[in-house]
Structure 1
Amino acid sequence: MDFLTTVLLLLVGAGGGVAAANVLRKRTGLTDVRHESTLLLERIEKVFKVVMAEGYFSEIYNYQDQKKILYLLNDPKKAMVIAKSKVLVGFDFAKVRFQLPDAANRTLVIEAFPEPEVLSIDTDYRFYDIQAGILNHFNGTDYTQILSEAKQVMNERAMQSDLPKIANNQIQYMMYQLSSSMGWHLELPEADQRRLDALKAKAEHDELPIKAVLPTSNESGRSQS
């Protein structure tokens, strides 16, 4: 009888301790949340990419997927994504083709210059108005597809903005300034040379440095927002 009494007392005490701990945890708001992260470095590459313009964009992206139940009833699911992005546009100098520098005449000739490209998109996504169907539910693949399509839309919108033009003007000004500071003459491809000559002519007409006649990427980005 003494043994059974001891066992019962131990069980009651343990149960009371667990109950008291749960009550205390609820009152203090303590939660046991654990996060684990694994970082895998796949490769490191040497690049020579230069950012010449940045723009800030906001986009409302609507996603809708229609699914039929028994080929008769529509079972749609939809979501609205608001994306705010910082887009960096510039050049990959690995794609530039130079002639051998003419040291005697101190001339640097560029045969071909790459088109500006989006170098990075830093985006903050927020999901709103997520409505799943009766049987047509969202899964991980759906969210991945939504984010991929929203990023692609942002990339296209950036390239349709003034950012590529601004980047072209900026890179030509930078190369012109760099070569002039060293006493060299810079020769660009015909279209780029005309653009640079136009910038220099405008600056001389207004008696301003070339940089003063260049538009700013922030103004371009905000105008697209």
Structure 2
Amino acid sequence: MTPLVQALIRSGKIIYLILFAIIGFLIYQLVTKNDGTSSVEYDTALIQEQIKNVGKLVVTEGHFSEVMTYKDQKKYIGDLISFEKKALVVINADVAVSFDLSKIKYDIDEKAKTVKITSIPKEEIKISPDIKYYNVDQSTFNEFTGEDYNKINKIVKANLAKKIEKSTLKSNAKNRLISELSKILIVTNSMGWKLQYNGEIVNSDKEFGTQLKN
């Protein structure tokens, strides 16, 4: 044992040095731990706020027009006598494809720093047709009834649904959806977090689009 150590022991200073070292280490650990926890809590709150901001109704609108001829016949005495009714039907329809993003379901894994989107609402399609009838031709024995108008409504909506599928309306709506969801991706990436959907990590808008189509 060197004379210096012997001197410190005798003076009791080494005990104070050890105590100061222990106290300093504990304070460092406490401060470091609190900083880490506070950082995660701040990140979590920021992500939740961003998801809340994204949680709105995204609507893409379109307009479709169609002209059709409706015909119906009633036959009597076998096929000897028939009475026909017909009309020219002009349809102008406003169509809205919407995503209610307030229905997004997600989990936040703070330890893994990962936001897991578990459910994205499906699109809702609203068709508002304006139907007008021209050149209505009917007879006493075969008049237009409520059943005819209901049948025409069903035919119109079925035809419009086919037109919507062939149009770019749904794909445009999906692109708007991806644009909104990408705001979450930007926030998570900027903070060093990960975004997961369908069990896979999302790294770009393109990946988001591919997964949404699956």
TM-score by length of 1: 0.54
Aligned 8 A contact 1:53 1:163 in 2: yes
Q: What's the secondary structure of 2:109's corresponding residue?
A: coil
Choose from 58, 61, 84 the match for 2:65. 58
Choose from 111, 124, 132 the match for 1:117. 124
Aligned 8 A contact 2:58 2:101 in 1: no
**Does structure 1 residue 157 correspond to structure 2 residue 166?**
no
Aligned 8 A contact 1:54 1:86 in 2: yes
Q: Residue type of the partner of 2:163?
A: R
Q: What's the secondary structure of 1:108's corresponding residue?
A: strand
Greater strand proportion: 2
Q: 1:139 to 1:75 in 2, by over 3 A?
A: same
Q: 1:104 to 1:178 in 2, by over 3 A?
A: same
Q: 1:194 to 1:157 in 2, by over 3 A?
A: farther
- What is the rounded CA distance, in whole Å, between the counterparts of 1:194 and 1:64 in structure 2? 55
Aligned 8 A contact 2:104 2:117 in 1: yes
Q: Residue type of the partner of 1:68?
A: K
Structure 1, unaligned runs of 5 or more = 1-47, 201-225
- What is the rounded CA distance, in whole Å, between the counterparts of 1:169 and 1:199 in structure 2? 10
Tell me the residue number matched to 2:206: 197
Where relative contact order (Cα < 8 A, 6+ residues apart) is larger, the structure is: 1
- What is the rounded CA distance, in whole Å, between the counterparts of 1:142 and 1:86 in structure 2? 23
| Deviation of 1:69 (Å) | 1.9
Aligned 8 A contact 2:100 2:121 in 1: yes
Structure 2, unaligned runs of 5 or more = 1-54, 210-214
Q: Residue type of the partner of 2:75?
A: K
**Does structure 1 residue 87 correspond to structure 2 residue 95?**
yes
Q: What's the secondary structure of 2:70's corresponding residue?
A: strand
Aligned 8 A contact 1:66 1:77 in 2: yes
Q: What's the secondary structure of 1:101's corresponding residue?
A: strand
Choose from 151, 170, 174 the match for 2:180. 174
**Does structure 1 residue 147 correspond to structure 2 residue 160?**
no
The CA deviation string for residues 122-176 of structure 1, in whole angstroms up to 9 with x for no partner, is 2222111211145111123322332233133223321332122111121111011
- Greater gyration radius: 2
Q: Residue type of the partner of 1:131?
A: D
Aligned 8 A contact 2:195 2:203 in 1: no
| Deviation of 1:96 (Å) | 4.8
Choose from 121, 133, 142 the match for 1:136. 142
Aligned 8 A contact 2:58 2:176 in 1: no
- What is the rounded CA distance, in whole Å, between the counterparts of 1:151 and 1:114 in structure 2? 23
Alignment of 1:34-53 (within 5 A): 50-53=57-60
Q: 1:190 to 1:74 in 2, by over 3 A?
A: farther
Q: What's the secondary structure of 2:156's corresponding residue?
A: helix
Aligned 8 A contact 1:60 1:81 in 2: yes
Greater helix proportion: 2
Q: What's the secondary structure of 1:71's corresponding residue?
A: coil
Tell me the residue number matched to 1:108: 115
Alignment of 1:21-40 (within 5 A): none
- What is the rounded CA distance, in whole Å, between the counterparts of 2:135 and 2:199 in structure 1? 51
- What is the rounded CA distance, in whole Å, between the counterparts of 1:190 and 1:169 in structure 2? 21
TM-score by length of 2: 0.57
Tell me the residue number matched to 2:77: 70
Q: What's the secondary structure of 2:95's corresponding residue?
A: strand
